[in-house]
Chain A
């Protein structure tokens, strides 16, 4: 899966997992902030994103503080997933 496909899939998964009713993948910009002024996610949503990474991509966040960087936007999430998958493949 290339980065573009991954980004679209992530948007679909986030909408479903976080019950963002009325939102479509097209409503979420690749680089939009996920928290506060962007999608307006909260701390419980952050925990759901950690679960999503584990459930869908078998990635366990080693350090919760990394979340601030990883969950900044859909692009940063996709970059992190691709990086982890590449690391696991090597």
Chain B
């Protein structure tokens, strides 16, 4: 039986993988094989945030996904502390860890060091989009929608969260995989916040 949270709905979803950005079931952008993915995303998605270029790949991916996800989101309907973020992945911050380790052989780089924790991506999204509510980052071998529904549902029911970005953001060996959902309380659009509905969005390829 699918876990379901009463009165919570999936109001948006974004997927970035295989150099393709999807919002719901629509392809928003597809990057050329030869182009630098993040430079293309920055330009084509009109991200307009110079700090983007200082971020590690995980934060760039998360910021780009959040940018598309929140395009039509009416943030003014909520207090900043009612906006949460719950993300997960399997590789942690491994790319930033390796880059920092390599730099530490000569001159350790402070700007690489600051990205050696996976939850920094939550911080970057929070700063950029003004989310100040509860947040958490989980590591699991694969995306676990049941856990996300349980955890986020708990935040909505007991911690005052009314809207939340949740999902998966993973970078390893230059492979990028982001699947973000925007869930909101009380905005009945017919798509309940359930593990099955998350899984169905995940499988749209």
Interface status of A85 (Cβ within 8 A of chain B): no
Number of interface residues of A (CB under 8 A): 13
Interface status of B50 (Cβ within 8 A of chain A): yes
Q: Which A residues between 5 and 63 are near B, CB-CB below 8 angstroms?
A: 18-22, 40, 44-45, 47-48, 51, 54-55
> How many pairs, one residue from A and one from B, have CB atoms within 8 Å of each other in the complex?
29
Interface status of B139 (Cβ within 8 A of chain A): no
Q: Are A54 and B107 in contact (CB under 8 A)?
A: yes
Q: Are B53 and A44 in contact (CB under 8 A)?
A: no
Q: Which of B53, B109, B110, B114 has the most CB of A within 10 A?
A: B110
Binding site for A on B (CB under 8 A): 39, 50, 53-54, 106-111, 114
B50 surroundings in chain A (CB, below 8 A): 20-22, 40
A21 surroundings in chain B (CB, below 8 A): 39, 50, 53
Interface string of A46-90 (1 = CB under 8 A from B): 011001001100000000000000000000000000000000000
Q: Are A48 and B111 in contact (CB under 8 A)?
A: yes
Minimal beta-carbon separation of A18 from chain B (angstroms)? 7
Q: Are B109 and A48 in contact (CB under 8 A)?
A: yes
Q: Are A44 and B106 in contact (CB under 8 A)?
A: no
Q: Are B110 and A47 in contact (CB under 8 A)?
A: yes
Cα A28 to Cα B106 with chains together (Å): 28
Q: Are A45 and B111 in contact (CB under 8 A)?
A: yes
B108 surroundings in chain A (CB, below 8 A): 51
Minimal beta-carbon separation of A61 from chain B (angstroms)? 13
